[in-house]
Amino acid sequence: MSLSKSLRSLPASTKQVYDYVVVGGGSAGCVMANRLSSDPNVRVALLETGSDDNTPLIRNPSGFFWTVPYSKKYNHRYWTTPQKNCNGRNMFQPRGRGVGGSSAINAMVYIRGLKYDFTNLWAEENKCNGWEWENVLPIFKELENNDTLKNNAYHGNEGPLHVRTQNHIGPYSKRIVKAGNELGWKTTDDFNGADQSGVGYYQYTQTKGGRCSTGVAFLTPEVRARPNLDVIVDAHTTKVLTEGRRATGVHAVVSGSSDSANPVTFEAKNDVVLCGGAFNSPQLLMLSGIGPKDQLTKYGIDVVHELPGVGQNLQDHADICVNAKTSRISMPLQIGLTNLPSQIKHFFLGLFKKEGVFMGDNQMVGSFFKSKPDIPANDIQMHVAPFYYKDHGATLRYGGGISVKSCYMRPESRGTVGLNSADPMEGPLIDPNYYDVPADFDPMVAAVRKSIELIQTKTLAEDNLVVSGFGDKDVNNLTDNDIKEYLRENTESIYHPVSTCRMGPSSDPMAVVDHSNGLKVHGMEGLRVIDASVMPTVVSGNTNAPTMVIAQKAYNQMVGQDGVVDVTDALLVDNQL
């Protein structure tokens, strides 16, 4: 029941009535559709601008290498404005387009962030009481079904989101872990446990050899069969409808039945719930007259509610990759005749055992560490791939190599999301403003140096790895300015945009939604934003799992089941720094 047949054949300008209209079927939207429709007395519409997810490109983990760099059907393929601190480059911003959203095209890495993020930054610094680590950890566990890490204080085994340990770790990935040990990093088997620090293997949101997107986890056939839930794909929401300061529904262009001039109306008797993500939720608010007055009047949009924080505070993890080439390594995802036997082996592993690199065992090694010792928590995350990877996966080099990708997890720079025009079919204006605060360069410089050290360890010396990308410069004698220029020319996004509708108390003039009332938009009735855009600050790691927790906690608040503990009296689970 991915698309209601009656809705596919609806004539333009008709009206459908629901209790809740959820806009965006991504990481948060699928959770909200599942939870809201669990009450059989509540009618729910989930509107997704893209397609359904019933395709091998989405369900097979290796589809990442097509959907991220190339696909237009399953990827919005946004681009930034020219980045003044990155040599004026327009930078690629992939975003999932379809059921599951970005969880349907991402690299599936399951990371939660740190206690420091939730307790120190969200709850204390940004005054979002109730979002402390002790209050979100139970929700992470409730949603999780971990196949390996069972019966401990940090993981759940009964939730809908399947989290999988790689079954087939290649020998070269094991050597990369050993190389990390040579740098002084301890081996860790759980980046979401008591101590995130160290080097080890990521866990992934996968099940039965396939991707476990939020569409797979929360919109199961049983959920889709609920008579009170309509999942409507190819439905592009163009405006939130309002009466005074109350949201009453949305207009949407539904493929095959309407256009921008004659949209379908979806009335919401209770709430309109925006789950479009850090780019699309603020854009839709502004198109609907809710946001900074200057943005609205610039494009002739009537001001419904002046809310200056909409589209502000954009944060993202800037990513830098250091590549090294060699002719001596043979890995399944590398191109060349020497690794053909390995590719054949992994093809049959995927066919018969639902494991191997073509089914998600991508051999990735992870590491978390501090760029300098006197900071309170890890600020660098590494993804080390035992294959040569560039251009968001568009370049896989013939022959051997490794790729060391690093991101600075707590950037001080802030960007914006605005409008390109009043046309709802046009994408948003995205300016991450990378490196606007010069201090953001320093941890990235340290990460590049650490990447080169890793490549040059004794453990990896026999592979004759040659660091590429620095021209004729001696990589053992690079100045900080040399590395900064490399960063300006090579930095990309690692796809973690957040915070453009950030939560906070009503006393905060830049807060967009109320942290304690189901993420209700300040100054509006019947309107909520529930997605990664509400994060006050970006978490220390990948953002997919925290976005699901945001949705579940917001739902708990809406139905009066939040269960907040008083952390002043709580037994702290750990320090997790």
**Residues 245 and 259 placed together within one structural domain of the fold:** yes
CA distances from 320 to 314, 371, 419, 483, 490 (A): 19, 14, 28, 11, 6
Amino acid at 272: V
**Residues 214 and 193 placed together within one structural domain of the fold:** no
Whether residue 261 lies inside any domain: the answer is: yes
**Residues 252 and 382 placed together within one structural domain of the fold:** no
**Residues 185 and 224 placed together within one structural domain of the fold:** no
| CATH, residue 246 | 3.50.50.60
**Residues 350 and 460 placed together within one structural domain of the fold:** yes
**Residues 523 and 399 placed together within one structural domain of the fold:** no
From 155, 383, 392, 496, the catalytic residue: 496
Whether residue 431 lies inside any domain: the answer is: no
Whether residue 419 lies inside any domain: the answer is: no
Q: Using CA atoms, how far apart are residues 342 and 340, in angstroms rounded to an integer?
A: 5
Domain end residue (candidates: 422, 455, 490):
490
**Residues 36 and 7 placed together within one structural domain of the fold:** yes
Whether residue 415 lies inside any domain: the answer is: no
Q: Using CA atoms, how far apart are residues 236 and 232, in angstroms rounded to an integer?
A: 10
Annotated active-site residue 168? The verdict is no
**Residues 29 and 116 placed together within one structural domain of the fold:** yes
Which H or E element spans position 92?
A: strand 92-93
3-state helix vs strand vs coil in the chain, percent to 5: 30, 25, 45
**What is the domain range of residue 399?**
167-201+318-408+436-490
**225 a known binding residue?**
no
Whether residue 481 lies inside any domain: the answer is: yes
Q: What domain count does the chain have?
A: 2
Whether residue 535 lies inside any domain: the answer is: yes
- Print pLDDT tens along the chain (577 aa): 344 444 555 566 788 999 999 999 999 999 999 999 999 999 999 999 999 998 988 988 888 888 999 999 999 999 999 999 999 999 999 999 999 999 999 999 999 999 999 999 999 999 999 999 999 999 999 999 999 998 889 999 999 999 999 877 888 899 999 999 999 999 999 999 999 999 999 999 999 889 999 999 999 999 999 999 999 999 999 999 999 999 999 999 998 777 778 899 999 999 999 999 999 999 999 999 999 999 999 999 999 999 999 999 999 999 999 999 987 665 545 554 444 455 445 444 554 455 545 545 557 899 999 999 999 999 999 999 988 888 887 766 566 789 999 999 999 999 999 999 999 999 999 999 999 999 999 999 999 999 999 999 999 998 889 999 999 999 999 999 999 999 999 999 999 999 999 999 999 999 999 999 999 999 999 999 999 999 999 999 999 999 999 999 999 999 999 988 876 544 444 545 5
CA distances from 304 to 263, 275, 524 (A): 20, 20, 10
pLDDT given for residue 389 in this prediction = 83
Strand partners of residue 555: none
**567 a known binding residue?**
no
**Residues 302 and 380 placed together within one structural domain of the fold:** no
Domain end residue (candidates: 490, 508, 523):
490
**Residues 515 and 380 placed together within one structural domain of the fold:** no
**235 a known binding residue?**
no
**Residues 388 and 535 placed together within one structural domain of the fold:** no
Whether residue 21 lies inside any domain: the answer is: yes
**Residues 251 and 194 placed together within one structural domain of the fold:** no
**153 a known binding residue?**
no
Residue 533, SS3?
helix
Whether residue 421 lies inside any domain: the answer is: no
| CATH, residue 440 | 3.30.410.40
Domain end residue (candidates: 446, 474, 490):
490
